Amino acid sequence: MAQIYNFSAGPAVLPAPVIRQVQSELVSYKNSGMSIMEISHRSSLYTDMEAEAEENLRKLMRIPNDYDVLFLQGGGTLQFAMVPLNLAQKNKQTGFVDSGHWAQRAIEEARLVPGVKADIIASSAAVNYTALPDVPELRQQYDYVHLTLNNTIEGTMYRDLPNVLHGQTLVGDMSSNIMAQRYNVEDFGLIYAGAQKNIGPAGMTLIIVKHDLVEGGTELPAMLSYAKQAAKHSALNTPPVFAIYVAGLVFKWLLEQGGVEEMQKRNEKKSAYLYDFLDSSSLFSSPVKKSSRSVTNIPFVTGNAELDQHFVAAAQENGLVNLKGHRSVGGMRASLYNAFPYEGVQKLVEFMERFEQSVGGNK
């Protein structure tokens, strides 16, 4: 099979050694004669696997002991509702930074929870989300303030948390840059991430939540309650066993590679290579303000929708796949998650150079 480079935004590329390990032990997990998909979630084969995954994740992200780690289902999207259900019960006042598509989905869902008020404390809608919004000094204490750390569709990312949010309970959506960039878990009350971008297969959602915050929510239906999920260690019902297993292998792989710092270094290098090309190209360009640029999701355009389409098709024929931008913004997008190799970015830039020459490069 010819080498393929998969730029998909999610579900996304996984480390090749992890895929090979899944293949090699799929038929008989730990010599049990059964696959991981066929064993009971009450067996020690499962509970040992889950415990090791959690331990490795705690190491990678330096998660303090007073935070619970949950492996749940429902994707990032269920967290848009589950967070206000559990954490907006004191004053029912929440604040949101409107930084793009996923932030907006989070706001819409929070507003559907009875009684919850969601203030938009900052927005970059006026510049089409091509930059991160400036967050002003806040005059009130919210139950929590919600921040999308990496805007997967628009290609913007917080490298540092806005200073003015210090003192608020921060909820962070890290679906597309968790462990791609070092953040301090202690700065957050809760962090969530759908697995299928930078962790593993779809079907598992990671939640890291400060234990104090989890103590409310006991009146909620069990599946929607962090307190009840935490009390049963994410196994209140059948957990997504296969997704947790693959995520556990990815955590092990990340540790072997040197952890989050090493990933961050590689991601900076990969993304800088592409941004440098975009900034010097006479055909392609990045619509995103330099200081706001993401290291994991990089949108770019030629300025001509027809030419964009032609480029995506030609790239695909050359083994550079899933470069089409999100339907809401068009153009192209290269997602360079932890498992995406540097060589893939080099191949993409080489191909873009050739393409530019072939069309005469007129920006």
Ligand X SMILES: *Cc1c(COP(=O)(O)O)cnc(C)c1O
Residue numbers at the binding site for ligand X (CB under 6 A): 10, 75-77, 102, 148, 152, 173, 175-176, 194, 197
27 token code pair: 């038929």
Of 77 and 93, nearer to ligand X (C-beta) is 77
State yes or no: 102 annotated in a binding site: yes
CB of 257 to ligand X, least distance (A): 23
Which residue out of 173, 253, 308, 324 is catalytically annotated? 173
Give the nearest distance from C-beta 38 to ligand X in angstroms. 25
Residue in 102, 252, 308, 324 annotated catalytic: 102
- What values do phi and psi take at 115, rounded to 5? 85, -15
238 assigned binding-site residue: yes
Q: Are 192 and 211 in contact (CB under 8 A)?
A: no
Q: Shortest approach of ligand X to residue 9 CB, angstroms?
A: 7
- Closer residue to ligand X in complex, CB, 162/200: 200
The reply, when asked if residue 173 is annotated as ligand binding, is: yes
Catalytic residue among 197, 252, 270, 324: 197
Euclidean distance between the first and the last CA atom of the chain, given in angstroms as a whole number = 36
The reply to whether 173 belongs to the active site is: yes
- Tokens describing residue 360: 């005469």
DSSP code of residue 186 = G
Q: Which residue, 102 or 226, has its beta carbon nearer to ligand X?
A: 102
Active site residue 276: no
CB of 195 to ligand X, least distance (A): 8
Give the HSE-up count for residue 43: Cα atoms under 13 Å, Cβ half-sphere.
12
Q: Does 42 carry a binding-site annotation?
A: yes
Dist CA 54 CA 279 (whole Å) = 41
Q: Is 237 assigned a ligand-binding role in the annotation?
A: yes
Q: How many CA atoms lie within 13 A of 286 on its CB side?
A: 28
Shortest gap between Cβ of 111 and ligand X (angstroms)? 17
Its sign, for the CA torsion 57, 60, 65, 68, is negative
Sign of the alpha-carbon torsion through 268, 173, 239, 226: positive
Interatomic CA distance for residues 245 and 36, integer angstroms:
8
- Respond yes or no: is residue 363 known to be catalytic: no
- Residue numbers in the known binding site for pyridoxal 5'-phosphate are 76-77, 102, 152, 173, 196, 237-238
Q: Which residues are catalytic, by number? A: 102, 173, 197
- Residue numbers in the known binding site are 42, 76-77, 102, 152, 173, 196, 237-238
- Residue numbers in the known binding site for L-glutamate are 42
